Structure 1
Amino acid sequence: MFIRSERLMLRPIFPEDWRELFAGIADESVVRMLARVPWPYTADDARRFCNQPRGVDEMLFAITLPGEDGAPLIGTIGLAPSEPETAYELGYWIAPSRQREGYGSEAVGAVLATARALGLREARAGHFVDNPASGKVLRRWGFLPDGQLEQTACAGRGGRRVPALRYRLSLAD
């Protein structure tokens, strides 16, 4: 599946994306904000990620920025089934060189519009408390805090449990 937004193209992740993915995510400031990505992040980690099979119900996209010189990969975004069965977990990251330009928010909006069109019912997301920018993006798209402060394991911080805020969004509206 491909999704076009105002400035971005969201597309499947291909095995040959590993170099660009590695260049964007292999930064401790990015990895420490993601629960499941290890630090240090290696080229082998990037290759494995780009080659791993995806679940039928999982939506995972390379966030690319089309332009005159191609369409560089600037991040990834996905929705994957979670508990309960009707909910999907949203996750995303943007390369440091492209942060604070609204690309993360634009990608979230595009994925949520697609999820609604596909009939998904609920999205969930979270962010570590030391990443308030992610919370701002989630609230912009209608996510509501569920009042939970969860101690969440963070692979990028050596598996340490870090406080995270959790959010929900009804996609049925």
Structure 2
Amino acid sequence: MIRFRPVILSDVPWIAEALSHETVARNTSTIPHPLDENFIRSWVSDWKQLEAAGQGFRMVGTTDDGDGFGSAAIKRTTATTGELSFWIAPRFWRQGLASQMSKAIVEQAGVAGFTRLTAGHFRDNAGSAAVLRKLGFRRLDQDMEIFSLSRNENLATFRYALDLER
């Protein structure tokens, strides 16, 4: 069984380990590679501030053994729209955990009053595309370039949206 809960400072070591994998960092826009635990501590602290201000929320997923496997977040972009992001530690890939965790946070977004979610992925990230399609996101005609900290370059992305029922 897996569990989802808010991120806490004691998660920093396993998050740092997971995000230190280049294969994870390269699929995000905001995680540098290499990274250090100070970056992750700031990342957790920044999310706590966003949550306190009502501007978003983040959850982590853990196994029955307490092993952390990933994170998903919704960051408010307008009063009723948010941006979904997620990542999974490599040793947990291809187990359906990204879909389960993202589904849980999408449901939480609906309860929190969001009516629309957007998301995107770099064009070479087929795994994220599959997760988004499985959740019901539809591809938009609004592809854009986003700067990737780990790759140190602008990269083309595919953009998606999901309208939530109220």
- TM-score by structure 1 length? 0.88
Alpha carbons 1:9, 1:64 under 8 Å: kept: yes
Aligned-residue CA RMSD (Å): 1.4
* Corresponding residue for residue 107 of structure 1: 101
The structural deviation recorded for 1:126 is: 0.2
The structural deviation recorded for 1:51 is: 3.0
* 2:21 corresponds to which of 10, 27, 30: 27
* 2:156 corresponds to which of 145, 159, 163: 163
Alpha carbons 1:16, 1:50 under 8 Å: kept: no
Which letter does structure 2 place at the counterpart of 1:30? Answer: V
Alpha carbons 2:80, 2:113 under 8 Å: kept: no
- TM-score by structure 2 length? 0.91
Runs of at least 5 residues in structure 1 that lack an aligned partner in the other structure: 1-6
Distance 1:90 1:79 in 2: 5
Distance 2:92 2:74 in 1: 21
Distance 2:86 2:62 in 1: 13
* Corresponding residue for residue 60 of structure 1: 58
The structural deviation recorded for 1:54 is: 2.7
1:49 matched to 2:43? The reply is yes
Distance 1:124 1:143 in 2: 8
The structural deviation recorded for 1:34 is: 0.2
Distance 2:26 2:12 in 1: 20
Give CA-to-partner distance per residue, 1:101-146, whole Å, 9 cap, x none.
0000011111112222232100000000000110111011110011
Q: Percent identity?
A: 26
Which letter does structure 2 place at the counterpart of 1:39? Answer: H
Which letter does structure 1 place at the counterpart of 2:63? Answer: L
The structural deviation recorded for 1:170 is: 0.2
Give the paired residue count. 162
5 Å-filtered alignment, 1:1-173, equals 7-52=1-46, 53-55=48-50, 56-66=54-64, 70-82=65-77, 84-158=78-152, 160-172=153-165
